Amino acid sequence: MKAILLAGGKGTRLRPLTINTPKPIVPILEHPFLLYQLALLKEFSEIDEVIISLNYQPDRIQEIINTGPKLGLKIRYIVEPVPLGTAGGIKFASKKITDTIIVLNGDVLTKVDFSAVVKLHRDRKAKATIVLTPVENPGAYGLVETDAENNVQRFIEKPPPDQISTNNINAGIYILEPNTFNRIPVDMPWSIERSFFPSLLEQKETFLGFPSKGYWIDIGTPAMYMKVHRDIMEGRFQFEPFLGKNKKKKVIAPDVNLDNDVTIQGPCYIARGVKIEAGVKIGPYSVIGPKCHIAKGAKIEASILWKNTYIGRESRINNVILGQNCNIGHGIEIATGTVLGDNSSFPDSNNLSQ
């Protein structure tokens, strides 16, 4: 069985972080996001190959995945000649495939039981099965309405409160039959949500929704990117190869260089090669990427620092995201909610006594 990972998006909602780092490989606890998705697919033993569909900075993604941990999966890359949309990308990636395929959006972190989804799909001889996930604020999403037998009835785009009939949304995970792809134009942008799925309903084909209560998040915004780190550190998303069940603990790489009088509060994650000088305070929910340097007296709370970033003496970093190779001078305070791209630099504060 083949799986297709749609990883061609530009990640515009995550900019400036994704200017140099495509969204599929933004680091989650220093590991590229795609690695988590590949490991999830590896858990389903029927998958014999994963096809990663690329468009934006494809060479960069291939380089990161090929040099990362080996998961024992056969991986094939295809590069769309132009952005083809979700349905167009699936058709392009599935050439010569005739068996049932699994499709996973490249910005979704989830724990779904693929065996159960595929079983429902096969038992009902469905043409398509879409995984559904419940959300707390259904009015902010496009909803998927199903009947008592899990048949998809209709899609409701961001309804007003008095028209909300379900809290289930499209989770971006599909089981599809390639013999339905003839309705997708060749080499043209085409949407699976707005064009392909409605065609299944119009032709009254067996189209199912599989409600899943497993963990699910779309990491495509800075707020959700921050949230997924918090969820991992609190154990809501457990992933054994990386952090697993280290709930409310301090995860510190063995080669971290810690001076005396450093305060570290968990949960937090400090990667390999980090140097932390005297008097530094690392607060809960902080992620310090590889080879970062935190100078004397700095304070970091609930923030994510990508690799090779320098934080100067007495600086204050609270609830921010910093891209790689940033240089934050001495005595700098960065406002809560700030997101800075790679190579951002702040000069020393004039108010800091040397």
pLDDT digits (tens, 9 = 90+) for 233-289: 888 887 553 445 545 588 889 999 999 899 999 889 999 999 999 999 999 999 999
pLDDT of residue 350: 52
313 pLDDT more than 60: yes
Residue-wise burial string across 236-261, b where 16 or more C-beta atoms lie within 10 A, e elsewhere: ebebeebbeebeeebbbeeebebeee
CATH number of 248-346: 2.160.10.10
User: pLDDT tens digits for 120-174?
Assistant: 999 999 999 999 998 887 767 778 889 999 999 988 877 777 777 788 888 899 9
Lowest-pLDDT choice from 28-37, 266-275, 299-308, 345-354: 345-354
**Rg for the chain, CA atoms, rounded:** 22
Q: Where are the domains of the chain?
A: 2-222, 248-346
Do the first three CATH levels of 2-222 and 248-346 match, i.e. the same topology?
Answer: no
pLDDT digits 0-9 by tens, 172-214 = 999 999 999 988 888 788 888 888 999 999 999 999 999 998 8
DSSP string, 321-354: EE-TT-EE-TT-EEPTT-EE-TT-EEPPPTTS--
Of 2, 6, 162, nearest to 85 by C-alpha is 6
Are residues 168 and 147 in contact, defined by beta-carbon separation less than 8 angstroms? no
What's the confidence (pLDDT) of residue 150? 93
Band of residue 118 on the pLDDT scale cut at 50, 70, 90: very high
354, exposed or middle or buried, with CB in 10 Å at 0-12, 13-18, 19+? exposed
Mean predicted confidence (pLDDT) in 218-233:
90
Whether residue 353 is predicted with pLDDT greater than 70 in this model: the reply is: no
pLDDT tens sequence across 33-50: 888 889 889 888 899 999
**What pLDDT is attached to residue 329?**
94
Q: Say whether pLDDT at 352 is over 60.
A: no
Closest CA to 29 of 326, 268, 236: 268
3-class SS shares of the chain: helix, strand, coil, % to 5:
20, 30, 50
Residue 354: per-residue pLDDT: 36
Residues 219 and 216: their CA atoms lie apart, in Å, by 10
Query: What pLDDT does 247 receive?
Result: 52
Structure tokens at 240: 């054994």
Give the CA distances from residue 154 to residues 123, 129, 208, 280, 305, in Å, rounded to whole numbers and listed in that order.
Answer: 22, 14, 11, 54, 42
List beta partners, residue 286.
268
Per cent of the chain over pLDDT 70 is: 95
Q: Position of tokens 């515009």?
A: 12
Query: Measured in whole angstroms, how far is the alpha carbon of residue 272 from the centre of its chain?
Result: 22
Q: Give dist(CA 200, CA 220) in Å, integer.
A: 28
pLDDT mean over 317-321: 95
Q: With contact defined as beta carbons under 8 Å apart, do 312 and 329 qualify?
A: yes
The CATH code that applies to domain 2-222 is 3.90.550.10
Whose tokens are 């003496």? That residue is 313
Average pLDDT over residues 46-63: 89
What pLDDT is stored for residue 289 in this prediction?
95
The predicted structure's pLDDT at residue 245: 52
Please tell me the predicted confidence (pLDDT) of residue 308.
96
Per-residue pLDDT at 324: 95
Please report the pLDDT score of residue 30 as a whole number. 84
Could you tell me the pTM of the whole model? 0.88
Per residue in 83-97, pLDDT tens?
888 888 899 998 889
